[in-house]
Amino acid sequence: MSLNATPSGERPHIAFFGLTNAGKSSLVNAITSQDLSIVSEQKGTTTDPVQKAMEILPLGPVVLIDTPGLDDASALGAKRIARSLRVLAHTDLAVLVTEAGKALTEAEEAFVRKVKDEGIPYLCVANKIDLCPNHAAIAKDCFPVSAKEGTGIAGLREHMARLLSAPKENTAILCRDLVGPSELCLLVIPIDSAAPKGRLILPQQQVIRDLLEGEALCLVTSPNRLDQALTTVHPKLVVCDSQVFDEVARKTPEDIALTSFSILMARYKGYLASAIAGVQAISQLKDGDTILMAEGCTHHRQCEDIGTVKIPHWLQAHTGKKLNFTTSSGPDFPRDLSGIALCVLCGGCMLNAREMQSRKDIALAQHIPVTNYGIVIAAMRGILKRATAMLPGYGGEKHA
């Protein structure tokens, strides 16, 4: 994905589910007007979820996901079905593809119950209407189409766009509510071995874009030029990379609000309250406890990687305990957290809000405290209260 493209984490995720040979792959290809998925008369052609980020009118930038059949009876069927259902963790709109003229099977009805229970918007599509001359046999709640002949595809796109554009409560804001029009925000960005050559990391790009949309003023500097910048300007807010929190906090006057990109991302993705509550668990860690460092991307790790090197080292030093660390990357977040004492999430810039909240819910359901990279670092540096003071609803809370 290019630097000018909408990040996957900001795109609505539309996932297609259904029985084997219901026409899921054919429907995805018809909607996109591309051969994204392999189509065959042989059952079980799609063996793993296939994901593609693209732009489709009138939907705009989206991620489409084609999944294996919900009734896969092959030797690996159970694993494929489980992998299909895991896609729901980051699905914003679930499309159940059925065959026109056929009643829903037990597997299809179970799927509908599951998406309803999880509160996921869904749409039932009756495919292959070209093989069903009696349209009265099509269930009234199903959208009729023929992926083969293209019948109803344009209307389906428009219907999905309406479902995705429906008003949502608590629309997330990254930071433009913290810095008003013509007010100044100073961003402190280290340029070190972990910084991608020639570009900024995604949360930094997103914060700059959000500030511009709010018509705020934005100044960017490196940590070693922060003193000079603060003699020239007096920003309303300083946002820094979490790994330089300590240095930036020392240099920034107390009357200037301070936070980090990671903390802003936790608020934006909807799990900040849980992350603040979960960081209290640091004080209860014991020798031998295992901490899960859960990253959303699969970047190549440098020798000073923040998630696998720096934070584990700082936690060992801060607690004085001999701790164990395990890491998950990309979409492979474990569902069974047995033996985990604390789950530390990254900011989640590469994942959508539903996926980040799903990870939080999985941990809390197993009574595992969950927190965030920036929250952990701020707590260890003794500046968590300051780092969240300007965020509506968090200024008066007690912090570790």
Which domain CATH number covers 240? 3.40.50.11420
Q: How does residue 399 score in pLDDT terms, banded at 50, 70 and 90?
A: very low
Shared domain for 281 and 245, answered yes or no, is no
How confident is the model over 357-377, as a mean pLDDT?
Answer: 96
Q: How does residue 4 score in pLDDT terms, banded at 50, 70 and 90?
A: low
Instruction: Give the residue from 227, 244, 265 where a domain finishes.
Output: 265
Q: What are the tokens at 373?
A: 């990279």
218 phi, psi to nearest 5 deg: -135, 125
Distance CA 67, CA 95 (A): 11
**pLDDT number for residue 219:** 97
- Number of domains observed in the structure of the chain: 3
Shared domain for 67 and 126, answered yes or no, is yes
Beta-carbon contacts of residue 134 (< 8 Å; ≥ 6 apart): 101
Distance CA 386, CA 185 (A): 16
Whole-number Cα distances in Å, 280 to 276, 361, 368: 7, 18, 12
Lowest mean pLDDT among 11-25, 33-47, 227-241, 370-384: 33-47
**pLDDT number for residue 276:** 96
Shared domain for 348 and 370, answered yes or no, is yes
How confident is the model over 149-163, as a mean pLDDT?
Answer: 92
Whether 399 maps to a domain, the answer reads no
Shared domain for 312 and 248, answered yes or no, is no
Residue 270, Cβ neighbours under 10 Å: how many?
Answer: 16
Lowest mean pLDDT among 109-118, 300-309, 354-363: 300-309
Distance CA 81, CA 239 (A): 43
Q: Is the pLDDT of residue 152 over 50?
A: yes
Shared domain for 146 and 230, answered yes or no, is no
Q: Is the pLDDT of residue 138 over 70?
A: no
Shared domain for 258 and 299, answered yes or no, is no
**pLDDT number for residue 35:** 76
User: Range of 236's domain?
Assistant: 184-265
Q: Which long-range contacts (CB under 8 A, 24 or more apart) does 163-170 make?
A: 163/93, 163/121, 163/123, 164/12, 164/14, 164/59, 164/62, 164/92, 164/93, 164/121, 166/121, 170/270
How confident is the model over 103-117, as a mean pLDDT?
Answer: 93
Task: Output the domain CATH number for residue 311.
Answer: 3.40.50.11410
Whether 278 maps to a domain, the answer reads yes
**pLDDT number for residue 396:** 39
Beta carbons of 132 and 53 less than 8 angstroms apart: no
What proportion of the chain, given as a percentage, has pLDDT over 90?
65
Shared domain for 17 and 143, answered yes or no, is yes
Whether 142 maps to a domain, the answer reads yes
How confident is the model over 135-142, as a mean pLDDT?
Answer: 68
Element (H, E) at 202: helix 202-213
What is the sign of the dihedral through the CA atoms of 90, 30, 107 and 114?
A: positive
Q: How does residue 355 score in pLDDT terms, banded at 50, 70 and 90?
A: very high
Shared domain for 208 and 89, answered yes or no, is no
Shared domain for 190 and 306, answered yes or no, is no
Q: Taking all residues of the chain, what is their mean pLDDT, rounded to a whole number?
A: 87
